[in-house]
Structure 1
Amino acid sequence: MPMNRPATTALAAVLCLLTAACGGSSDDDRTDRTDGTSTTTTAGSKSGYPVTLDNCGQSATFEKEPGRVVVMNGASVAEVSTLLALGLQDRIVANQQSYGMSEVAGRAAAIKALPTGDIKVNEAYDIPREAMLGLRPDLVLSVTTYGFDQKNGFATREQLKQVGANSYVSPQGCDDDPSKMTVADSYQLLRDMGKVFNAGDKAEKLIAASEKNIAAVSEKVEKAEKVKGKKMPKVMVLFSNMAMGGNDFSSVFAHGIANDILDRAGGSNAFENASKSTFADLSKEKVAATDVDALVVISYNAPDPAAYAKKLFKEFPQWPAAKNNTYVTLSDSMYLGPSNDLAVEKIAKMLHPEVF
C-alpha cells in the first residue's frame, strides 16, 4: 500500500490507553493514566449502562451498546481486530482497516468480509467528513486524534457528538506518541471496548489468556538466557517494502510496542539508540555498520515479506542474521491489538529455539 505523509503519520501514531480496571460496581471506577488522561466507568443498571469513558480530555457516555460503528484506517488494525476478538463484527457498518494478513487464523478473511460503507477515501486512505456523517455512526474509532482533525478534512469529535455519535481515540493516540506504547496498551484497548459493548468478561478472558501465554514463553526465555549468559540477541524490526522518510531505511522501529514485545521474547532492538521517536530513518551505511542477529519483517499489505527478508540478507551478508538465516515475518500481532502474545511466542522461538 503506498504510504504518503498523512498515512504514515497515522501508522506511526497507533493505539491504546494504559491499564484500567474492567467491569462495573456500585461506585465509579477510575484509573489515571501516565499521560495525564483517565478512564472512568460509571456503573448503572444491571445491563452495564450507562458507561462513561474519559478519552483524550473528552467525556463520552454510552447509554446502550453501539450498533453502528465506523473504524477509521489510520494505518492500523488494532481497533477492528479488537472488535473481532470480542465478537462484535456485526456492529461494524464501515471498516477501513486491513493489513492483508494476520497471525490469527481466519482474521484477515473476516476483516476483508466487513462492510466498507462504499466510501471514496481521501488522500490519507481514510473517511472524509461528509462521508462519515452520511454513515450515521453512533461510535467512531480512530487510532489517533489525527482522525478527528478538521484541518485534515475529517469530522471532529464535536461534530460527531452533534449527530449523536460518540468517538474514541486508542491509547497513546491522544498525544500521537506511540514511542511509549507497550503491550499493556493493547490490553487497555480490549478493556475499554469491553466496557463500551458490555463485554468486559470476554475482554478479561482474552487478556488473561494472552498474559498466560506470554508468561509461559518468558519462563522458557529465562532458561535460554541463563544458558547463553544473558546475551540478548539484537533484532531489527521493520515494515516490508515501506518508505516513511528520506533515507533507504525509514520504517525501522526504534521504540514503542515492538521493544516491549522483543524484551518479553528475550531480544533487544538493534536500533533503539538510533532515534528518540518510534521509527528511525536510517542510511544504508548505518544499517550495514550494525550487527543484526535476527530480523522481524512486518507485512502491511505486502504480498511476500519473506522475500523482502531474503533480499536484505543478500544486501547485508555480514549480519549474523544473514549468516544464520534468522528471521520471522509477522503482521498484526507485532502492533497494537489483541494478539501480541503470538508475536512474543514466534519471536522467542526464532531467537531461542533450543528451549521450545
Structure 2
Amino acid sequence: MPLTRPVATALAAALCLLTAACGGSSGDDRTSAKTSDAAASKPGYPVTLDNCGQKQTFEKAPSRVVVMNGASVAEVSTLLALGLQDRIVANQQTYGMSEVAGRAAAIKALPTGGIELNDAYDIPREAMLGLRPDLVLSVTSYGFDEKNGFATREQLQQVGANSYVSPQGCDDDPAEMTVADSYRLLRDMGKIFHVGDRAEKLIAASEENIAAVSAKVQGKKRPKVMVLFSNMAMGGNDFSSVFSKGIVNDILAEAGGSNAFENASKSTFADLSKEKVAATDVDALVVIGYNDPDPAAYAKKLFKEFPQWPAARNNTYVTLSDSMYLGPSNDRAVEEIARMLHPEAF
C-alpha cells in the first residue's frame, strides 16, 4: 500500500489501542459512556494543559470532538477506552482491525462527519470549522499546519475550540516514544474529560500485565525481531516501513526481544535495501496490519524471499495492528510477542 508523503509522515508519528482491562466490548463502552456523562457535570474545571507549548484551558468536558486521521488509531481508541465515544462528532481514524475484540467495529460505527478529505487524507480547514468542534485531536502538529490546508490551533481557538497534539507529536518525531507516552495520552484525556479515575485504572492494569509478562522472560536470550507494516511503501527502497526506533523498541524489550534494525536509522523508520535486509539475521517477525486484510500472507511472502532467516526456518512470526503503537493496548502487544519469542515461559 504505497503512501503519499503526508500519510507516511503522519504514520511515522502515530499508532496503537486498548488495555486488556478495558475489554473492548460494546456493552462496557455504553456503560462507560453513561459514567462519562455524569462526570461532565462534576466539579473539577477549569482544567489547563500545556500542550506543545500552548496553554489549553477547558471550562467543561468537550462534547463535540473531532479526531483527525494521521494514519493513527491512538486517539480514537483512547477515547473509546475511556467510554467517551458519544463525544465524537467526526472521526477519521481507522485500522480496519484490532487486537481488542469489538474495537474495529466500534471505530467503524463512529460518525465521520461526511467530510471530503483533502490531498493529505485529512480534514481541510473549512470543513473542520463547519463541524463546530470544541476539541480537535491530532497525532502530530502536522494536523494544524496551515500550509497543509488545515485549520491552525489559533484559528480553532477563535471559534471556541481547543486542540491537542498527542505525546511526542509536537516535532513530528516519535523516535523517542515509549509505552509511557500511551499512559500520558490516557492521563491527558482523563483530565480533559474529568474521567481520570478510569484512566488510572486502565494504566494500572496495563502496567500490571506488562510487569507479569516481563518477569516471565527476564534473563532469557533476546531474539532479534523485525517489525514492519505489511504491503506498505514509505520511501525509495524495497523496505521503507521497517521500524528502527520508537515505542516498538520499548514493547520488544518488555517482551524479551530486541529490534534487529535498531541501529539502521536515527528516525522511527529505516528505509532499507533488499540487500541490507537479506544480510541481517532475523529471528522473528512482527507484521503490523494497516487496513490489510491478510498481513499473515505478507509474513509468509517474506519468509519465501528470505529463507536464510532463522525466523523463516522456524516460521516465527506474529501479526498485530493497533497494540504496537501509541494507544491504550500496548500490553496486548507485549504478551503476544513474548509468547511468540519465549513460548516455554507460558
**TM-score normalized with structure 2 length:** 0.92
CA contact (8 A) 1:15 1:172 kept: no
Report deviation, 1:123.
1.4
- 4+ runs of 1 displaced by more than 3 Å? none
Q: Secondary structure at the match of 2:263?
A: helix
Structure 1: 5+ residue runs without aligned partners?
A: 17-44
Q: Within 2, Cα distance between the matches of 1:47 and 1:324?
A: 57
Q: How does 1:119-198 map to 2 (within 5 A)?
A: 119-198=115-194
Q: Distance in 2 between matches of 1:142 and 1:2?
A: 22
The separation in 2 between residues aligned to 1:155 and 1:97, in whole angstroms, is: 18
Q: Quick one: distance in 2 between partners of 1:3 and 1:167? A: 26
Equivalent position of 1:76 in the other structure: 72
Once the 2 structures are TM-superposed, how far is the Cα of residue 263 of structure 1 from its aligned partner?
A: 0.2
Contact 1:15 1:173 (8 Å CA) reproduced: no
For 2:274 and 2:15, locate their aligned partners in 1 and report how far apart those are by CA, in whole Å. 30
List aligned pairs for 1:344-355, cutoff 5 A.
344-355=334-345
> What secondary structure, in the 3-state scheme, does the structure 2 residue paired with 1:93 have?
strand
Tell me the equivalent position of 2:47: 51
Deviations 1:25-49 (A, max 9, x none): xxxxxxxxxxxxxxxxxxxx96111
Q: Which residues of 2 match residues 1-356 of structure 1 at below 5 A?
A: 2-14=2-14, 47-222=43-218, 225=219, 230-356=220-346
Deviation at 1:231, TM superposition (A): 2.1
Aligned-pair CA distance for 1:343:
0.1
Question: Structure 1's 322 and 15: CA in aligned 2 closer, same or farther, altered over 3 A?
Answer: closer
| 2:28 corresponding residue in structure 1 | none
Query: In 2, Cα distance between the equivalents of 1:275 and 1:90?
Result: 41
Q: Provide the rounded CA distance (Å) in 1 between the counterparts of 2:289 and 2:43.
A: 40
Identity of aligned residues (%): 87
Q: Deviation per CA, 1:283-342: give whole Å up to 9, x if none.
A: 000000000000000001011000000000000000000000000000000010000000
SS of the residue 1:251 aligns to: strand
> How many Å separate the matches in 2 of 1:4 and 1:208?
38
Contact 1:291 1:320 in 2 (8 A): yes
CA distance in structure 2 between the partners assigned to 1:220 and 1:124 by the alignment: 44
Per-residue deviation, residues 240-296 of structure 1 (Å, max 9, x unmatched): 000000000000000000000000000000000110100000000000000000000
For structure 2, which runs of at least 5 residues remain unmatched after alignment? 17-40
Preserved contact between residue 98 and residue 323 of structure 2 (Cα < 8 Å): yes
Deviation at 1:3, TM superposition (A): 1.6
Residue 238 of structure 2 contacts residue 273 of structure 2 at CA under 8 Å; is this kept in 1?
Answer: yes
Q: Residue 49 of structure 1 aligns to a residue in which SS?
A: coil
Query: Considering only aligned residues, what root-mean-square deviation do their CA atoms show, in Å?
Result: 1.2
Q: In structure 1, give the amino acid aligned to 2:9.
A: T
Residue by residue over 1:90-148, the C-alpha shift from the partner in whole angstroms, topping out at 9 and shown as x without a partner, is 00000000011000000000000000000000111100000000000000000000000
SS at match of 1:329: strand
Tell me if the contact between 1:15 and 1:178 (Cα under 8 Å) persists in the aligned partners. Answer: no
**Aligned-pair distance for 1:191?**
0.1
In structure 1, C-alpha distance between the alignment counterparts of 2:145 and 2:273, rounded to whole Å = 33
Give the Cα separation in 1 of the matches to 2:259 and 2:42: 47
Q: TM-score, normalised by structure 1?
A: 0.89
Higher RCO (CA 8 Å, separation ≥ 6 residues) = 2
